[in-house]
Amino acid sequence: MSLLRSVARVDVAVGTDAQAAFTLKEVYIYKPNDKMALMPLSTAYDANDLSMVTKPSVPAGTAAGAAAWKYEVSGTGIDHAVYLPEADVLMTGQNGGSGVAGDNNHTNRSAIVVGGIYKEAMNYYRIDFKTGGDAAALMDVLRNHRYNAQVGIYTSLHDRKKRLAVTIFRFRLIESLNASVEPAVCQSQ
């Protein structure tokens, strides 16, 4: 019998290249759903792999939580601590939204915010759930998936300055935790 977790997991870490420049202090989950489905909808399963879902099962009447979930961090990351219900991050057609980052629903959708010391001051960085690459697109938060956000350093092609960057990857949660489903976001400040 195949069982699916009813939640998604979010891990955040500071990459070795950024540990001297950035000290992670806080992780927030903004707009987490206030309800969750214990079982996925039958239409949410992957037709080729019934141990996997391809879209969220969000119960009717679900709303985004008003208060952010805050996690204090000590060390270089937080893992096995942040679990959230599935979320329809795309929100296509809702409030005039187009399902892309920065649309009318930008402040209504679930997101991760990391806070830490960078250049001797507390700074906060929003991490949207979106795929990486040139055609980045929002992605839903799915049950039985792990989202790894990593803070790193990149060199700007425009002015050759080093900047902080945050990348998120989505993985299907399985026993060995090593099967990649799809790469995700690159959000930089």
pLDDT tens-digit readout, 10-38: 999 998 888 988 899 999 999 999 999 99
Asked if the model's pLDDT at residue 40 lies above 60, the reply is yes
Residue 149 has a CB neighbour count (10 Å cut-off) of 25
Two structure tokens written together for 161: 């300055």
Span 89-103, pLDDT tens digits: 887 667 766 777 777
Two structure tokens written together for 181: 């489903």
Chain length of the chain: 189
Two structure tokens written together for 160: 């050759």
Q: How confident is the model at residue 132 (pLDDT cuts 50, 70, 90)?
A: low
Q: What is residue 42's three-state secondary structure?
A: helix
Two structure tokens written together for 47: 């037709």
Please give the backbone phi and psi of residue 44, each rounded to the nearest 5 degrees, phi first. Answer: -85, -20
The answer, as to whether pTM is greater than 0.85, is no
Rounded to whole angstroms, how far apart are CA atoms 147 and 35?
A: 20
Asked if the model's pLDDT at residue 2 lies above 80, the reply is no
Q: Comparing C-alpha atoms, which of 181, 145, 186 is closest to residue 165? A: 186
Rounded to whole angstroms, how far apart are CA atoms 50 and 4?
A: 10
Residue 92 CA neighbour count, 13 Å, CB half: 7
